[in-house]
Amino acid sequence: MFRKVLVANRGEIAVRAFRAATELGATTVAVFPHEDRGSEHRLKADEAYQIGEVGHPVRAYLDVDEIIRVARESGADAIYPGYGFLSENPLLAEACADAGITFIGPKPDVLHMTGNKATAIAAAKRAGLPTLRSVPPSSDIDELVKGADDIGYPVFVKAVAGGGGRGMRRVEKPEALRENLEAAMREAESAFGDATCFIEEAVVDPRHIEVQVFGDRHGNIIHLGERDCTLQRRFQKVVEVAPAPDLPDDVRAALHEAAVRLLVGRGYRGLATVEFLLDADDPTRWWFIEVNPRLQVEHPVTELVTGVDLVLTQLALATGRTLGDLGLADP
């Protein structure tokens, strides 16, 4: 069991993580840039340390060296990333391993695979999951534009490190592709520190289903059902429903099985969400699109349906407990 948890995040998720850590008997550490000096999460933690430079609050939360510096200074022996910021960045997990600090999330090699949309698609193909046609990732706009012609329009521009709809654009015509690539790359560089993008075939008016998955250190993988997140605005999920309504039982079972199969044998530990698109007219036609190796903003929907505290479970699994120990699978 770790004694002190540093939460490398802010706002609601930081406060939620502090509560979970406290319930497990650990003390808590907050980090904050100058601009967040009056934020609630700073006040809720047992200790709080300022990070970064004045005028660059987002950069502060993305600074791995600063996070590790505070962990060492405070004596934190675990780091929880929450969602956004460094939650999918393998560099933080690697830095934790080098410093002898528990990273509450997947191992670095797994993050390299899942946190990058393009490598996750490659892994899904190897696991036998259906995927959409795509252009390999690149930061060379000319190369991406050339590759898109082979797919046909509409297409999606996606940042490999993207999340929350950032670094993502739908493009209807070839003449609009370059402009949208440039905009997506700028957004991805600012939000994630990585401008690399790829292009993917667009499915017109699909149904969007995501499956919640947990893994422990002993290789056990389970799912906690699915959420329907089809209703979106600007690629941001507006309403989520669980279980997904009017989903044929065989399709539901197939998506659950595919989500588990993707992660079995990969040493996955912690929480993940595996996302799929379904043909609106034929739900038996579906495609894997990405896996989020972290908590998602919409996690309370699954918590309300299952009664499982996902944040508390993340922290408990990081201590070495199994899913069986937590009553989520056979011992």
Catalytic residues, by residue number, are 294
Strands 78-80 and 47-50: what pairing?
Answer: unpaired
| Residues with Cβ within 8 Å of residue 206, at least 6 apart in sequence | 230, 277, 278, 279, 280
Q: Which residue shows structure tokens 């699978």?
A: 329
* Tally: H helices and E strands in the chain: 12, 15
Integer Cα distance of 105 and 204 in angstroms: 34
| Residues with Cβ within 8 Å of residue 204, at least 6 apart in sequence | 154, 280
Integer Cα distance of 266 and 224 in angstroms: 19
Integer Cα distance of 313 and 321 in angstroms: 9
Helices (H), 106-207: 108-114, 117-126, 141-148, 177-192
Range 141-160 burial, b when 16+ CB lie within 10 A, else e: eeebeebbeebeeebbbbbb
Integer Cα distance of 163 and 171 in angstroms: 18
Dihedral angle over CA of 75, 77, 83, 85, nearest 10: 50
- Token pair for 36: 């967040």
Helix (H, G, I), strand (E, B) or coil at 214: strand
Helix (H, G, I), strand (E, B) or coil at 239: coil
Note whether 14 and 80 are within 8 A (CB): no
- Token pair for 124: 């899904």
